[in-house]
Amino acid sequence: MTDTIGIILICLGVAFDFFGVLGLIRLPDVYNRLQAATKCVTFGSMGILLGVIVMQGFTSFGFKAIIGILFIVLAAPTAAHAVSRAAHRSGIPLAKISIVDKYEEDKELKTESVQKEIEV
Amino acid sequence: METKTKSRIIVFVFALVVWFALTDIKDYQEALIGIAISMLISFLTGHFLIANVASQHLIKRTFHFLLYIIRFIWEMIIANLEVAYLVIHPMLPIKPGIVKIKTKLTKDSAITVLANSITLTPGTLTVDINRNKGELYIHWINVKSKDIDQATKEIGERFEKTLTEVYE
């Protein structure tokens, strides 16, 4: 019984990992791709690890899986934030279908005010 | 008791529990090494865990934190189904953009949790934070509103209420 539930969870996890990869290929720019990559890959990997916990119980394997889940949940969004921020700062534009970019507007304001200070 | 010492003791106990769970203890030597390493870890990094004195209402805050986790898992499932739908759809019905939202949270840890939750929930990704103004820049895969107040309502408020209860 536990084996069946574990295998179902692992299959679900692999499916979501697959959607994440598909998104990584199909979506237009780095920011959209990050969305697919973080969400689906986090959830998919969590599913696989949960399956391992269900199948193994609270042995040392299961406990390692729990720690793996914890670190994925903490690290994946942080990495996504760092990558997207770095991409924007180094001037990678949003895809053409994007309709608004408040970050770019504010960045221009910031550089303008800095330039004014330098001129004064 | 001093906060630093308290923080170190918590880290020591936690590290020891993790050690015992990770290794199948067969020998007293393994336990001794675990204790030694836990002491080293708690001595070197223990004082980072609790920065200020724990505030009141511990039970109430724990309860709200559990509520938050349930909320978070639910939102995460929705997020994944949404992304899966977008990705399979042959037309790719997306309308991306970066919007700005406001937050009332002030503590570092609270803002971190909020930003991470926003990243893992439907269609949104935290790009940057302006801590002085309390603003977050969010990449939104399907922009519903460019207005800052409307966007705050759509994105931030789900979590902010519970997080305020937990952290402040």
The total number of residues shown for chain B amounts to 168
Is residue B53 domain-resident? no
The confidence band for A120, taking pLDDT boundaries of 50, 70 and 90, is low
Q: Are B120 and A46 in contact (CB under 8 A)?
A: no
Instruction: Answer whether residue B140 is part of any domain.
Output: yes
Q: For B20-41, how does the pLDDT look when each residue is reduced to its tens digit (9 = 90+)? A: 888 777 788 888 888 999 889 8
**Minimal Cα distance from A74: which residue of B?**
B116
Q: Quick one: angle between helices A30-56 and B58-88, nearest 10?
A: 120
Does B77 lie in the same domain as B137? Answer: yes
Report for A6-10, A95-99, B42-46: range of highest mean pLDDT = A6-10
Same domain, B116 and B96: yes
CB contact under 8 Å between B125 and A84, yes or no, is yes
Continuous segment of H or E residues that includes residue B140: strand B135-140
What is the per-residue pLDDT across A5-60, written as a single tens digit (0 to 9) for each?
989 999 999 998 888 888 888 888 888 888 888 888 888 888 999 998 888 887 77
B37 and B17 co-located in one domain: yes
Range list of β-strands (E), chain A: 100-101
Instruction: Look at B116 and A38 and tell me if their CB atoms are within 8 Å.
Output: no
- Burial track B46-76 (b if 16+ CB lie within 10 A, e otherwise): bbeeeeeeeeeeeeebeebeeebeebbeebb
Select the residue of B80, B97, B125 nearest A16 (Cβ to Cβ).
Answer: B80
For residues B83 and B39, membership in a common domain is answered with no
Asked if B44 and B63 sit in the same domain, the reply is no
Helix axes B28-45, B3-22, angle to 10 degrees: 140
Cβ contact A42:A63 at 8 Å: no
| Residues of A whose CB is below 8 A from B117 | 77
pLDDT category at A115 given cuts 50, 70, 90 is low
Q: Measuring CA to CA, how many Å separate B62 from each of B45, B106, B149, B167? A: 24, 19, 30, 10
Q: What residues in A contact B139, CB-CB < 8 Å?
A: 31-32, 34-35, 84
Q: For B98-136, how does the pLDDT look when each residue is reduced to its tens digit (9 = 90+)?
A: 888 888 777 777 788 888 888 877 778 888 887 777 788
Which one has a higher pLDDT value, A110 or B13?
B13
Q: Is residue B121 part of a domain?
A: yes
- State how many domains chain B has: 2
Residues B43, B95: one domain? no
Angle between helices A30-56 and B108-120 (to 10 degrees): 90
Rounded distance between C-alpha atoms, residue A45 and residue B86, angstroms: 20
Q: Which residue has the higher pLDDT, A58 or B85?
A: B85
Are B17 and B75 in the same domain? no
Q: Does B126 reside within a domain?
A: yes
B120/A76 CB distance under 8 A: yes
Half-sphere exposure of B89 (CA within 13 A, CB side): 11
Question: Strand, helix or coil at A92?
Answer: coil
Do B9 and B77 fall into the same domain? no
> Any CB–CB contact under 8 A between B31 and chain A?
no
Helix A2-26 × helix A30-56 angle, to 10°: 170
The CA-CA-CA angle for residues A103, B107, B114, to 5°, reads 55
Chain A nearest-CA distance from B32, in A, is 19
* Residue B162 pLDDT grade (very low, low, confident, very high; cuts 50, 70, 90): confident
Q: Does a structural domain hold residue B134?
A: yes
Q: What is the CB-side half-sphere exposure of residue B168 using CA atoms within 13 A? A: 12
| Residue-wise pLDDT tens digits, A79-89 | 888 888 888 88
B119 and B158 housed in the same domain:
yes
Q: What is the pLDDT of residue B133?
A: 77
Domain extent at residue B95: 58-167
